[in-house]
Every structure is written in C-alpha cells, then in structure tokens.
Chain A
C-alpha cells in the first residue's frame, strides 16, 4: 500500500533562517505531488505541484520554492523565512493530476 511521510512534524525557526521540509511517498511510481499551506483557521492554499521529476509549478508567488530531486521526493524550501510563513504545511500525492489526493501528516511551522 502507498504511504506518504513528512518531516519534521514540528519546526520552530527564527525569521530570516532557511527552511527545508521533506515529503516522500512509498508504494507508487511517478506520483503527482503537491505542497499546501494551511494558515490558522483557514482552508488550504495550494503552493506548488509537480507532475514529474524536475517539473515544478508554482501557484502563489512568495519566498518559498519547491524541488523534486527524485520521483517520490518533494522538498519545500526557503532561503529566508518570514513571520507570515508560519502555518501548517501539507504534502499530498495523487495518481492522476489533481484527482483524488492523499495527504501526509503535515508539518507545523512556527516562525518567530
């Protein structure tokens, strides 16, 4: 069966520090991958999606970036975190692009 992992589960970072969140999927090949952010009390906002290795589409301009160095690995990065980057980050995958998505456990990021 397929599983999706995210780490770390919780992260506290100072403003201006770099960020790297990792997401990996097991049990499937060539998944479509997504990064979402959920601000407190809000719905999900799609940040990036990838339909294949090295292919990244950005939905929202910001100081975050994403990379897909391997088929089942999706990384969310930032060179300098802002206070507004605080939130809950969810990674998801799907078999068909933007069809039924399966979400990971999420990473709670607090920028101080």
Chain B
C-alpha cells in the first residue's frame, strides 16, 4: 500500500526566511500525482501546489516551490520569504487513480 510520510510534526521559521517541509512516499507506480495542501486555523484545506510525476521540472507557485526527487520518492515543499499568514498545518498527498493518501501533516509556525 502506498504511504505518505511527513517526518516533521512541527517546524518553525522566522518571518521573511525560507523553510523546507519534508515528505516521502512509498509507491511502486511510475505515474502519479503529488500535492501540498495548507490547512490554516480555519481548518479549510487549500491546495498549495501540484506535481505530476512524469514531469521532471519542479512545480512553482509564487513563493512556494517543490523539490521532487522521483527516484528517492521525495517531495519537499520550500516556502520562501515566509509570511505570518503561512502559519498552518501542511499536508503532503499522493494520488494514483482513485487512491488518494495524505500524510499526517507538519505544523508550521512563523515567528515575527
């Protein structure tokens, strides 16, 4: 079974600094999708970034970028120029077909 592991239950970053959140996954498939979702205190889940496994180029969305290492089955999220509004739980997710799995999450604190 495919599993998604986020090894950092909590992370903190100084405002305006850069932080990287880790995610690894286990799969025997070659074609799949990876996601990072943000869950602020409001609890609503917000899509941050999406990566197709067949694409070698790392996805980027403004201050958010990923480091996708397919062979290592690693999918880390880098947040540049961290802002107070970035404070949230971040979930890594894997999808292939109808199988969608989420990691346990990393709580990010941003210090002013």
Point out residues on A near B: beta carbons under 8 Å.
41-46, 49, 57, 88, 90, 92, 97-106, 108
Q: Are A103 and B46 CB-contacts (below 8 A) given A43-B91, A98-B97?
A: yes
Distance between A37 CB and nearest chain B CB, rounded to angstroms: 11
Point out residues on B near A: beta carbons under 8 Å.
4, 33, 35, 37, 42-47, 50, 91, 93, 95, 97-98, 100-105
Supply 9 A–B pairs (Cβ within 8 Å), ascending by A: A41-B104, A43-B105, A44-B91, A98-B95, A98-B100, A103-B46, A104-B44, A105-B43, A108-B43
Count contacts between A and B, CB distance < 8 Å. Answer: 47
Residues of A near B102 (CB, < 8 A) are 43-45
Question: How far, in whole Å, are A92 and B93 apart by their CA atoms in the complex?
Answer: 14
Question: How far, in whole Å, are A98 and B50 apart by their CA atoms in the complex?
Answer: 12
Q: Are A101 and B47 CB-contacts (below 8 A) given A41-B104, A43-B91?
A: yes
Residues of B near A100 (CB, < 8 A) are 35, 47, 50
Residues of A near B97 (CB, < 8 A) are 98
Residues of A near B104 (CB, < 8 A) are 41-43
Distance between B71 CB and nearest chain A CB, rounded to angstroms: 24
Residues of B near A57 (CB, < 8 A) are 98
**CB-nearest residue of chain B relative to A57?**
B98
Residues of A near B47 (CB, < 8 A) are 100-102
